[in-house]
Amino acid sequence: MKLKNQVALITGGGGVLGGAIARKLAAEGAKIVLFDIRAEFAARNAEAVIAAAGVAEPVGLDITDAAEVRRVIDELHARHGRIDILVNCAGGSARGRMKSFHEQSLDVVRDIIGVNLFGTLHCIHAVSRHMVAAGSGNIVNIGSAVAVQGLVGCVDYAASKGAILSATKSLAKELSPLGINVNCVSPGQIPREHPDDPDDFARRHSFLNRIGTPDDIASLVVYLTLPEAGFITGQNYIVDGGRTLAMQGSDLRA
């Protein structure tokens, strides 16, 4: 176990991806803290970690509240004596509220950017002080292939995730000399539920003959926290089955 006794905080810990990351980090010996505004979802994923002989605790937290984020993280640090890993997984697109930007409500735009970008920055701001004092740490942000390619109806989402990519590079330049690695993992199309026609889905959304899974993302996230990845910082890794290789005006697969 390469992360034995390390403390890992995961935002969006009640989601499918947050749960996959939690299980894989716990398998390496990390003690898991799952943040989610939906405390009951975080508790469900914590139970799955504990059932597999891991250590996990759920924490209900609204990461858009900077003062509450600071209070909770300071309390966790005081109780555990350390915070080694932060994975910023909370956020998402407007989904059912998606519209062309000129038709979109600015309230929706603020909501998306508030969670995706400011929520991420709030957590990094609160955690990084403790990591700097310790002289070590790993921060992994979850970006998106949309931040690189753009997507109709997702200007707010693309803007927030694009900002995370830029922030990752700037934070790496600031924090890496102090012993803290900062990287980003950008998923492609990872379905929350199994598609009705998996072969068609795989063909439309990747160049591989299978569907991307949360474990595909989680495996890379965990690798970036391991000693083997100690010389990697400020990078963005796109995990999309080659989806971003497609060109406008061509079929995804010729």
Check residue 254 and give its pLDDT.
52
Return d(Cα 212, Cα 201) in angstroms, integer.
10
User: What's the pLDDT at 99?
Assistant: 75
Other CB atoms within 10 A of residue 99 CB: 15
CATH topology of domain 7-245: Rossmann fold (3.40.50)
- pLDDT tens for 175-222 read 999 999 999 999 998 887 788 888 888 888 889 988 999 999 999 999
- Decide: helix, strand or coil at residue 49: helix
The whole-angstrom separation of Cα 138 and Cα 95 is: 30
The domains of the chain are located at 7-245
Q: Facing residues of 88 across strands?
A: 11, 141
Average pLDDT over residues 44-54: 98
Task: Name the active-site residue from 35, 41, 157, 237.
Answer: 157
Q: Which of 206, 209, 211 is nearest to 241 (CA)?
A: 206
- Where do runs of H (alpha helix) occur along 81-225? 106-113, 120-134, 146-149, 155-175, 198-205, 214-223
Asked if 48 and 242 count as a contact pair (C-beta separation under 8 A), the reply is no
Look up residue 92 and give its two tokens: 């998402």
Interval 109-147: pLDDT, tens: 899 999 999 999 999 999 999 999 999 999 999 999 999
pTM for the whole structure:
0.94
Residue 157 falls in the annotated catalytic set = yes
